[in-house]
Chains A and B, each alone.
Chain A
Amino acid sequence: MSGFWGVTRAIVGREFLRFIHQRERFVAALVRPLVWLLIFAAGFRAALGLSIIPPYQTYITYETYIVPGLCAMVLLFNGMQSSLSLVYDREMGSMRLLLTSPFPRWWLLFCRLFGATAISILQVYAFLGIAALFGITMPGWGYVTVLPGLILGGLMLGALGLVLSSFITQLENFAGVMNFVIFPMFFLSSALYPLWKMAESSPLLRDICALNPFTYVVELIRFLLYLQINWQALAWVAISTLVLGLIAVWGYDPARGLMKRKG
Chain B
Amino acid sequence: MGTSEQHAKGGLAVRNLGFTYGAKTALRDISLTVPAGRFCALLGPNGAGKSTLVSLLTRLLVAPAGDIHIAGHDLRTRSRRALGKLGVVFQQPTLDLNLTVRQNMSYFAALHGLPRSEVPGRIDAALDRLDMRARGDERARNLNGGHRRRMELARALLHDPAVLLLDEPTVGLDAAARQAITAHVHDLADQGLCVLWTTHLTDEVRDADALLVLHQGEIIADGTAGEIRGETSLKDWFLARTGPVPA
Contact = CB atoms under 8 A, between A and B. Distances in A.
A4 to B, nearest CB: 8
Nearest to A9: B110
Nearest to A92: B92
B92 A14 contact: no
Interface of B: 21, 51-52, 55, 58-62, 64, 79-84, 86, 88, 90-96, 98-99, 103, 106-108, 110-116
A102 B82 CA distance: 8
A101 B52 contact: no
A104 B186 CA distance: 32
B63 to A, nearest CB: 9
A100 B59 contact: yes
Q: 7 closest pairs, A vs B, by CB?
A: A93-B92, A3-B113, A10-B110, A101-B111, A102-B83, A255-B62, A97-B94
B81 A96 contact: no
A139 interface: no
A103 interface: yes
A98 B108 CA distance: 8
Contacts, number: 93
Given A260-B21, A263-B52, A102 B98 contact: no
Given A92-B93, A101-B112, A257-B62, 13 more contacts: A7-B110, A10-B111, A18-B96, A18-B98, A93-B92, A96-B94, A99-B60, A102-B80, A102-B82, A254-B62, A259-B61, A260-B21, A263-B55
A2 interface: yes
Contacts of A9: 110
A21 interface: yes
A17 interface: yes
Given A10-B111, A21-B98, A97-B94, A102 B58 contact: no
Contact of B94 (A2, A94, A102, A260): A94
Given A3-B113, A93-B93, A96-B94, A10 B51 contact: no
A263 B113 contact: no
A13 to B, nearest CB: 8
A98 B58 contact: no
A103 B92 contact: no
Contacts of B58: 96, 100
Interface in A227-263: 254-255, 257-260, 263
A176 interface: no
